[in-house]
């Protein structure tokens, strides 16, 4: 490129074009919250800082051809990095991590989910790459540089100064950004996508080394925290009440609580689950939150089976599938229970075929156990109604007592469903995802009702506890505008978004006649001790971070993987402390500000997440004899 007769080096041209594109993505294509002018300024400069440093590497090559090739491929690779993150963000409102890049066994199953995230206008995303390649092939333009070693060193020093300035502003805006980096959005917002990936690589290296260096010395400290802050010396009121009963666990894909007892154009969205809310044999937990992160359904499984927190990066099912665990199926097995999972998907998806062995699950009925045709499948596979129908023959054949988990599929992004299966209309908004969500939720509700009817025709029903749980959210923050329209809100604030992380939990106990709506805070991490105690299984020597939901003596908060939390009176989201009763702000968390009512909880949340991480990353349960009275040995 030439301006007024002066040559502009190709690396600088590439830096400017790439920076502008990156900023446009940050500012207008990602749902990044900007709270003040300093954040605006940092978001503006960090694409330019990273681009100049990135492309200026070219000047260290003496040959013009090597300079040009480096700039060409750097532009292409950099663009692909941004684009892959953008596509991922459109679905998960999150950024890629290194562990996810190795989850290749999931790729083949993504199918239409990925295609629905690719937009026709994405072709313009590569315009700068085309321009750079065009300029680099124009032989009339001499756009390479031949700097002296002194000028190269000077350029390198300037680059380091720019980077240091960016990091200084980032640390000023978000103190302890790198040491308390639970939230990837804060990292991208403050240091940019590329330095975030470098940081992610460093963290991954640290995580991999933790198992090698780990020993059991941390376990007494962790157990002491659990005994003091979590475990109660008193027994739950339902302790042992249903000893010997089967457990049927339905993991309801992507169902959130906002659809329960709600309508769309006058029609109930979940009529069957609405009936369960008021059923005399059902406990319904209206303030129950999912606690998953990037592993989604697999995280939901991990948390409920182990009462440990998921990883902040990737899925534990992949990253630490070979660890030793003390999961609920293993503890049930010691009491003579048989365990099985029913899920009409590939057994390798989320690495289930490997980690289920380490969770002591006896059998996995995957897609090979089902008759799947074009007529009875949609989206991710077998529809929920034929799924439950075909599962019944297996359920009736297994030995009691058993623990059987059913993982549904139909209510999965992109929420596809044929006209013949729809019982409610689509919603009408600017979000196809939210529009399609309601018919698939209703279909899953009908499938669960049908399953109940089938169970009631067998002796299994009366001798079982039936748990229905939403596994994670289905509507991401990318659809906040449409969601605010449906909920009749002006906007979805961080407070509202956390409240939307509530998912339904029903514990249906035939013949109990004591069911009611439970309003106390609850989370997926609480399922393991709750179910085990109902069955009369002692957890004294177990290590877990949840509470029995039928116990009044419980910790005061539900923690999320990104460091946010909900307590009885307060809610923390995106660094803001809210009054939980009305959603009003009561303070902003930072190292320089005075403490807010959320501060004491945040410290406990951080401690709890760190302890859980140490158990997982260090594979600490390999040092534990859970049959001994000393689990810290």
Give the 3-state DSSP-derived string for 342-392, with helices as H, strands as E and coil as C. ECCCCCCHHHHHHHHHHCCCCEEECHHHCCCCCCCEECCEECHHHHHHHHH
Question: Could you give the 3-state DSSP secondary structure of residue 252?
Answer: strand
Instruction: Tell whether the model's pLDDT for residue 224 goes beyond 60.
Output: yes
Q: Among 52, 43, 50, 13, which Cα is nearest to 25's?
A: 43
The answer to whether the predicted template modeling score (pTM) of the entire model surpasses 0.85 is no
Q: Which residues of 105-126 are buried (b: 16+ CB within 10 A; e: fewer)?
A: bbeeeeeeeeebbeeeeeeebb
What's the rounded Cα separation, in Å, for the pair 390 and 143? 66
Among 10-19, 168-177, 344-353, 354-363, the range with the most confident prediction by mean pLDDT is 354-363
Q: Which two tokens stand for residue 223?
A: 């157990």
CA 97 to chain centre: 12
Within a domain: residue 624? no
Closest by CA to 564, choosing from 555, 546, 576, is 576
Residue ending a domain, among 518, 551, 584, is 551
Residue 583 has pLDDT above 70, yes or no: yes
Mean local confidence (pLDDT), 347-352: 83
Residue owning tokens 């953008």: 86
Read off the pLDDT band of 227 (50, 70, 90). very high
CA distance 38 to 68: 36
More confident residue, 122 or 525: 525
Both 83 and 206 in one domain: the answer is yes
Residue 569 resides in a domain: no
Mean pLDDT of the chain: 89
Exposed e or buried b for every residue in 150-185, given b needs 16+ CB within 10 A? eeeeebeeebeebbeebbebbeebbeebeeebbbbb
Model confidence at 186: pLDDT above 50: yes
Structure tokens at 458: 């067998």
- Of 191, 106, 13, which Cα lies nearest the Cα of 412? 106
How far is Cα 322 from Cα 308, in angstroms, rounded to an integer? 16
Residue 170, in any domain of the structure: yes
pLDDT digits (tens, 9 = 90+) for 268-311: 999 999 999 999 999 999 999 999 998 899 999 999 999 999 99
pLDDT top residue among 177 and 374: 374
Residue 502 clears pLDDT 60, i.e. is over it: yes
What integer pLDDT is reported at residue 183 of this predicted model? 65
Identify whether residues 247 and 380 lie together within a single domain.
yes
- The side-by-side arrangement of strands in the sheet containing 282-285 is 363-365, 338-342, 402-407, 246-252, 464-470, 505-508, 282-285, 517-518
Is 409 inside a domain boundary? yes
Calpha distance 527→532 (Å, rounded): 8
CA distances from 135 to 55, 69, 122, 302, 559 (A): 15, 12, 22, 51, 52
Claim to verify: residue 24 and residue 122 sit in the same structural domain: yes
The percentage of the chain sitting over the pLDDT mark of 70, rounded to a whole number, equals: 92
Instruction: Pick the range with the lowest mean pLDDT from 180-189, 551-560, 612-621.
Output: 180-189
**In the predicted model, what is the mean pLDDT of residues 192-207?**
81
| 3-class secondary structure, 424 | coil
Residues 6+ apart with CB under 8 A from 188: 26, 30, 32, 95, 196
Q: Are residues 286 and 201 in the same domain?
A: no
Residue 474, CB-side half-sphere exposure with 13 Å CA sphere: 30
Task: Compute the Cα dihedral for 38, 40, 42, 48 and give only its sign.
Answer: negative
Give the residue numbers spanning the domain of 528: 235-551
* pLDDT over 90 at 1, yes or no: no
Question: Which pLDDT score, from 0 to 100, does residue 106 have?
Answer: 54
Residue 164 pLDDT exceeds 90: no
Q: Are residues 138 and 240 in the same domain?
A: no
Looking at residue 362, what is its pLDDT?
97
For 137-152, the DSSP string reads H-TT--------HHHH
Which residues, in sequence order, are CB contacts of 354 under 8 Å at separation 6+?
Answer: 321, 322
Q: Is the pLDDT of residue 28 over 90?
A: no
* Domains in the chain, number: 2
**Residues 100 and 241 placed together within one structural domain of the fold:** no
Whether residue 383 sits in one domain with residue 339: yes
In 3D space, the residue among 219, 196, 271, 127 whose CA is nearest the CA of residue 621 turns out to be: 219
pLDDT score at 5 = 44
Q: Based on the domain organization, do 194 and 246 belong to the same domain? A: no
Q: Write out the catalytic residue numbers.
A: 297
Q: Are residues 200 and 274 in the same domain?
A: no
Tell me the pLDDT band of 103, cut-offs 50, 70 and 90.
low
In the prediction, which pLDDT does 110 show? 54
Are 116 and 202 part of one and the same domain?
yes
Residue that has been written with the tokens 């040995």 in this structure:
633
CA angle at residue 515 from 386 to 547, to 5 degrees?
90
Distance in angstroms (rounded) separating the CA atoms of residues 338 and 332:
8
Q: Do residues 184 and 268 both lie within one domain? A: no
Query: Is 623 inside a domain boundary?
Result: no
Regarding whether 143 and 240 lie in a shared domain, the answer is no
Q: Is residue 230 part of a domain?
A: no
- The whole-angstrom separation of Cα 265 and Cα 175 is 47
Question: Nearest 10 degrees: CA dihedral of 75, 79, 80, 85?
Answer: 150
Interatomic CA distance for residues 119 and 99, integer angstroms = 26
In a domain, 426, yes or no: yes
pLDDT value at 141 more than 50: yes
- pLDDT category at 182 given cuts 50, 70, 90 is low
H or E element that contains 85: helix 64-92
Cα dist. 599→177, 348, 384, 567, 582 in Å?
17, 42, 44, 12, 19
- Residue-level pLDDT at 632: 45
pLDDT higher than 80, residue 407: yes
| pLDDT at 400 > cutoff 90 | yes
**Residue 149: per-residue pLDDT:** 77
Q: How many Å apart are CA 394 and CA 386, to the nearest integer?
A: 13
**Per-residue pLDDT at 310:** 96
Q: What Rg value do the Cα atoms of the chain yield, rounded?
A: 26
First to last CA, the chain: 68
CATH number of the domain to which 241 belongs:
3.40.720.10
Contact indicator for 308, 545 with CB cutoff of 8 Å: yes
């Amino acid at each position: 490129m030439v301006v007024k007769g002066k040559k502009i080096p190709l690396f600088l041209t590439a830096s400017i074009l790439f920076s502008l594109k990156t900023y446009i993505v940050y500012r207008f294509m990602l749902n990044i919250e900007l709270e003040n002018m300093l954040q605006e300024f940092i978001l503006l400069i960090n694409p330019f800082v990273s681009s100049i440093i990135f492309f200026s590497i070219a000047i260290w090559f003496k040959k013009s051809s090597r300079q040009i090739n480096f700039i060409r491929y750097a532009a292409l690779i950099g663009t692909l990095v941004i684009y892959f993150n953008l596509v991922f963000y459109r679905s998960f409102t999150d950024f890629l991590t290194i562990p996810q890049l190795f989850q290749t066994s999931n790729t083949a199953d993504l199918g239409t989910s990925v295609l629905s995230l690719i937009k026709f206008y994405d072709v313009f995303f590569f315009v700068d790459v085309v321009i750079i390649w065009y300029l680099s092939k124009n032989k009339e333009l001499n756009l390479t540089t031949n700097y002296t070693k002194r000028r190269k060193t000077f350029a390198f020093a300037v680059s380091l100064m720019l980077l240091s300035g960016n990091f200084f502003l980032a640390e000023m805006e978000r103190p302890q950004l790198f040491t308390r980096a639970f939230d990837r959005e804060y990292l991208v917002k403050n240091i940019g996508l590329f330095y975030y990936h470098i940081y992610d690589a460093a963290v991954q290296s640290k995580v991999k080394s933790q198992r090698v260096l780990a020993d059991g010395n941390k376990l007494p400290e962790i157990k002491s925290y659990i005994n003091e802050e979590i475990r109660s010396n008193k027994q739950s009121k339902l302790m042992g009440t249903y000893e010997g009963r089967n457990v049927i666990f339905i993991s309801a894909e992507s169902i959130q609580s906002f659809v329960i007892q709600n309508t769309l154009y006058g029609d109930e969205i979940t009529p069957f689950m609405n009936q369960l809310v008021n059923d005399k044999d059902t406990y319904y937990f209206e303030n129950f939150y999912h606690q998953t992160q990037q592993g989604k359904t697999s995280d939901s499984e991990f948390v409920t089976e182990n009462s440990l927190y998921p990883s902040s990066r990737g899925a534990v099912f992949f990253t630490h599938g070979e660890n030793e665990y003390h999961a609920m199926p293993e503890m049930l097995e010691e009491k003579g229970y048989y365990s099985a999972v029913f899920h009409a998907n590939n057994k390798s998806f989320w690495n289930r075929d490997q980690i289920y062995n380490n969770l002591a699950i006896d059998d996995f009925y995957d897609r090979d156990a089902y008759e799947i045709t074009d007529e009875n499948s949609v989206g991710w596979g077998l529809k929920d109604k034929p799924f439950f129908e075909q599962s019944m023959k297996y359920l009736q054949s297994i030995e009691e007592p058993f623990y059987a988990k059913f993982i549904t599929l139909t209510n999965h992004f992109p929420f596809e469903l044929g006209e013949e299966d729809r019982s409610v209309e689509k919603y009408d908004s600017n979000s196809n995802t939210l529009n399609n969500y309601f018919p698939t939720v209703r279909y899953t509700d009908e499938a669960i009702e049908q399953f109940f009817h089938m169970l009631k025709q067998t002796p299994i029903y009366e001798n079982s506890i039936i748990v229905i749980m939403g596994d994670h959210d289905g509507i991401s923050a990318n659809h906040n505008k449409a969601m605010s329209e449906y909920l009749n809100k002006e906007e979805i604030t961080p407070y509202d978004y956390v409240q939307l992380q509530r998912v339904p939990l029903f514990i249906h106990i035939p013949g109990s006649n004591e069911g009611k709506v439970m309003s106390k805070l609850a989370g997926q991490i609480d399922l393991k001790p709750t179910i085990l105690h109902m069955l009369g299984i002692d957890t004294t020597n177990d290590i877990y971070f949840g509470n029995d939901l039928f116990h009044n003596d419980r910790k005061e908060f539900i923690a999320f993987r990104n460091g946010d939390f909900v307590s009885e009176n307060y809610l923390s989201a995106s660094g803001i402390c809210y009054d939980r009763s009305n959603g009003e702000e009561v303070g902003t968390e930072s190292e320089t500000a005075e403490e807010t009512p959320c501060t004491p909880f945040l410290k406990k949340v951080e401690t709890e997440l760190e302890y859980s991480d140490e158990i997982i990353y260090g594979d600490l349960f390999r040092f534990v004899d859970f049959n001994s009275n000393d689990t810290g040995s």
